[in-house]
Structure 1
Amino acid sequence: MRTRLAIRIDAILEPWFPERRVFLRSDNDTRLIRLRPMTQLLGFAGSASVVAWAIVATAILLMDSIGAGNFREQAKRDQRSYETRLNQLAEERDSRAAEAVAAQARFNLALEQISDMQSKLLASEISRTELETGIEVIQSNLRDAMQQRDQARGRLAVLQQITDPSNPAANAQGHDETLDFMVSALADTATERDQILADAQQALRDAEDLQFQIKLMEDQNDQIFRQLEDAMTISVEPLDKMFRAAGLSTKSLIDQVRANHAGQGGPLMPMSFSTKGEEPSADELRANRILRQLDQLNLYRIAASKAPFAKPVKNSVRFTSGFGYRRDPKTGGRRLHKGADFAGPTGTPIYSTADGVIIHAGWSSGYGRLIKIQHAFGIETRYAHLSKIRVKVGQRVSRGDRIGDMGNTGRSTGTHLHYEVRVGGKPQNPMTYIKAANDVF
């Protein structure tokens, strides 16, 4: 059955693939090979399959090569764009730092001015109290002089009544003596009255001058208060923006710092100029509000020094990989990259990004030589693939301290730093903290 089917198929294929005979001759023998139409068809189909496979494979390789070239060009363009952006951020950071320094200088100057104005205000209060007391004494003396004048007039009337008009010659001498005494007494009283009036008028002029000086001091106080309020706004808002940009709760941070901060630099006590239990004035309320803002600014700065708002590398480096899912450089699969990579020469100094305690300094699988630092507020930073570790477990470090050198240890394809920030054990994007710090530091 199979032979008949093969014969029929050969007959059908005969017009396209006629039977061919191949003679293989040697010195001693001659062999005949018959190539039937079906055999030729199978050979042709196999050859065509091989050629088609070669064409498809070549096309795939070419497309992959072209795609890889485009990806590299895109990566280079992205790298150049990112480096340009980093330079711009560095310039913005420097300008913000200069503005912060200028604002701090203005704030210190305004603080000195308000201190001087407080001293002058206290002195003016004392002078006004003394002047009011002097005016009361002058008024009391004036009342006494007027009473004495009235008494002298009464005695003069009595003397005129008791004088006997029927004996003018006998009483002339008495009248002259009485009149001389009364004229002298009235002259003294008038002189004393004029002096008291002059003193009173001078006191009133002094009071007016003092009121004018107090008004000038109030205007200067208002200007100083405005400068202080502007300086506080310039100083506090960037810090608040920095914490919020990093996803941190400012209220929680301030509460933790206030709870743990028991040394110098604690909360500022409100000021009061009154010792009589009176309600505070508008200036006192305004000054106390500024003092509360100063306390808040102090707590913000303490919190900022304890959080990793800084770059771990100060030298010129290349940003090679960010936080998030990416193609794994070893396996090619899609994996979560839990930090940021900065590439540079071997031995590039690595610095702590905040105050903290070293909790790990040694080899770790995949990370190579690894340093872990525990900071405040449950924040932890990691520095991986180092060539050298310069700290020990338990050692306290500050922001900017050199802790190691860049290397290529562990699961790495080249010399770089793998930098992580974790809050409560969960990885966060380190660039969020670095970019947020550019607004202040």
Structure 2
Amino acid sequence: MRKRLSIKINSLLERHFPERRLFLRSDADTRFIRLRPVTQLLGFAGSAAIVAWAIIATSILLMDSIGSGNFRDQAQRDQDAYERRLNELSSERDARAEEALAAQERFNAALSQISLMQSELLSSETVRRELETGIEVIQGTLRKTMKDRESARDQLADISEGGETVSASNASDDAAMDFLTSALEATAQERDQVVADAQDALIRADEMQSEIQMMADKNDQIFRQLEEAMTVSVKPLDKMFRAAGMNPDRILNEVRKGYSGQGGPLMPLSFSTRGEAPSAETERANDILKDMDALNLYRIAAQKAPFANPVKSAFRFTSGFGYRWGRMHNGTDFAASHGTPIYATADGVVTHAGWQSGYGKLVKIQHQFGIETRYAHQSKIRVKVGQRVSRGQRIGDMGNTGRSTGTHLHYEVRVGGKAVNPMIYIKAANDVF
């Protein structure tokens, strides 16, 4: 039964795969290889399987390439948006600082003018009181003189003799009366002028107070806009550093100690030279300047920490951080074509640029905050030991050197010598910006 089935199968296969013989001829002998139908079928099936595997693998690679390209484009757009936002915030910060300083200068000038007006008003009030006192004295003297004159007239009516003496006395009293009357009129006119000047000063003081209130309202609006802008700008950066496991206070203090002077630190305002406590507006302005200073320090720190991708062209992630096949994988692998540019992810100094066992051609960059980045398996290194590099500067080309199964970049981030997941930094920046 089995023999008959085998014969039927063999005859069926011979229709499509007839038996063939391959002759191998040499100088001394001739040999042949018989290719049975079953052998030909197995060879055809194996060839078809290889072709199908090649088609499927190519499709998978194309899909990964398209997907990684979209991811990289999105990451590039996010990075461009982050840089544009930093530039816009820096320009807005400078403009708001100038407006705040100009408003504070106008406010101080108005205060000085009000103080001067108040001093003049007090001086006018003092003069007015002195004149009123003088007028009261003159009026008392005038009343006494008029009583004396009336008494003299009564005596004149009673006395009929000594006419010449009485006439001389009356003439003297009339002259004194005319002098006092003139002095009283002049004093009254001066008093009225002082009162009028005092009223004008009060009216002007009210107008200045209204202008000061308007300026205070405008300053308050400017301060509120600045405070809101600082809140929107500083909190996401603080969140980014915390998401990366970095203490923002320690980072800012370290940047402040090694400050390079880019843009200059913002100093607090101080308008009093007499040791007086600062006003509420001055304290608000100083708080805004502190936030601006923190924003500037955050900008510098962001350049010195690896918050960027080392590959800007289309790529795909082939292996992440963690255990792989029972061994610890200390970095993240980025796969792309041979020669793809590799970029520094933060400002720093090159400490190694050459071959290292397992890593192949390797570049190590030491950054601030105890952070080191490594770029392995390169085909070409474009930096030297001791060279200072900036974030986004090209440091080499992707390759397949060292212990590697294909062209890719092995990227590591180490903090204090200990390897950490590089995606912590990359995702922290992507989530915020």
TM over 0.5: yes
Q: Distance in 2 between matches of 1:423 and 1:318?
A: 26
2:408 matches 1:416? yes
Q: Distance in 2 between matches of 1:322 and 1:296?
A: 37
Match of residue 77, structure 2, among 82, 85, 91: 91
TM-superposed deviation, 1:129: 1.7
**Secondary structure of the corresponding residue to residue 107 of structure 2:** helix
Task: Show the counterpart of 2:20.
Answer: none
Alpha-carbon spacing, 1:322–1:233, altered in 2? closer, same or farther (3 Å) = farther
Task: Show the counterpart of 2:370.
Answer: 378
2:166 matches 1:177? no
Task: Show the counterpart of 2:380.
Answer: 388
Q: Distance in 1 between matches of 2:273 and 2:65?
A: 67
**Secondary structure of the corresponding residue to residue 201 of structure 1:** helix
Structure 2 unmatched ranges of 5 or more:
3-43, 158-165
TM-superposed deviation, 1:142: 0.4
TM-superposed deviation, 1:110: 1.0
Q: Distance in 2 between matches of 1:78 and 1:234?
A: 37
TM-superposed deviation, 1:75: 6.3
2:347 matches 1:355? yes
8 Å CA contact 1:339, 1:428 repeated in 2: no
**Secondary structure of the corresponding residue to residue 394 of structure 1:** coil
Q: Distance in 1 between matches of 2:98 and 2:280?
A: 20
Task: Show the counterpart of 2:396.
Answer: 404
2:431 matches 1:434? no
Q: Give me the CA root mean square deviation.
A: 3.7
Alpha-carbon spacing, 1:152–1:416, altered in 2? closer, same or farther (3 Å) = same
TM-superposed deviation, 1:62: 10
The more displaced of 72-81 and 270-279 is 72-81
Alpha-carbon spacing, 1:245–1:295, altered in 2? closer, same or farther (3 Å) = same
Alpha-carbon spacing, 1:64–1:248, altered in 2? closer, same or farther (3 Å) = farther
Task: Show the counterpart of 1:219.
Answer: 217
Alpha-carbon spacing, 1:167–1:422, altered in 2? closer, same or farther (3 Å) = same
2:134 matches 1:167? no
Q: Distance in 2 between matches of 1:91 and 1:302?
A: 21
Residues 18-57 of structure 1: pairs in structure 2 closer than 5 A:
none
Match of residue 86, structure 2, among 93, 100, 104: 100
Match of residue 248, structure 2, among 234, 239, 250: 250
8 Å CA contact 1:308, 1:354 repeated in 2: yes
8 Å CA contact 1:366, 1:410 repeated in 2: yes
TM-superposed deviation, 1:392: 1.8
Residues 247-286 of structure 1: pairs in structure 2 closer than 5 A:
247-261=245-259, 268-286=266-284
**Secondary structure of the corresponding residue to residue 376 of structure 1:** coil
Q: Distance in 1 between matches of 2:75 and 2:311?
A: 15
Alpha-carbon spacing, 1:240–1:367, altered in 2? closer, same or farther (3 Å) = same
Residues 20-169 of structure 1: pairs in structure 2 closer than 5 A:
77=63, 79-163=65-149, 164-165=152-153, 166-167=155-156
Which letter maps to 2:315? R
- Percent identical: 49
Q: Distance in 2 between matches of 1:208 and 1:256?
A: 52
TM-superposed deviation, 1:69: 7.5
Task: Show the counterpart of 2:186.
Answer: 188
8 Å CA contact 1:320, 1:343 repeated in 2: no
**Secondary structure of the corresponding residue to residue 278 of structure 2:** coil
**Secondary structure of the corresponding residue to residue 372 of structure 2:** strand
Q: Distance in 1 between matches of 2:352 and 2:108?
A: 58
Task: Show the counterpart of 1:10.
Answer: none
Residues 305-344 of structure 1: pairs in structure 2 closer than 5 A:
305-314=303-312, 316-324=313-321, 336=329, 338-344=331-337
**Secondary structure of the corresponding residue to residue 97 of structure 1:** helix
8 Å CA contact 1:96, 1:439 repeated in 2: no
TM-score (norm 1): 0.76
TM-score (norm 2): 0.77
Which letter maps to 1:134? E
Structure 1 unmatched ranges of 5 or more:
1-15, 17-57
Alpha-carbon spacing, 1:144–1:94, altered in 2? closer, same or farther (3 Å) = same
Aligned residues: 387
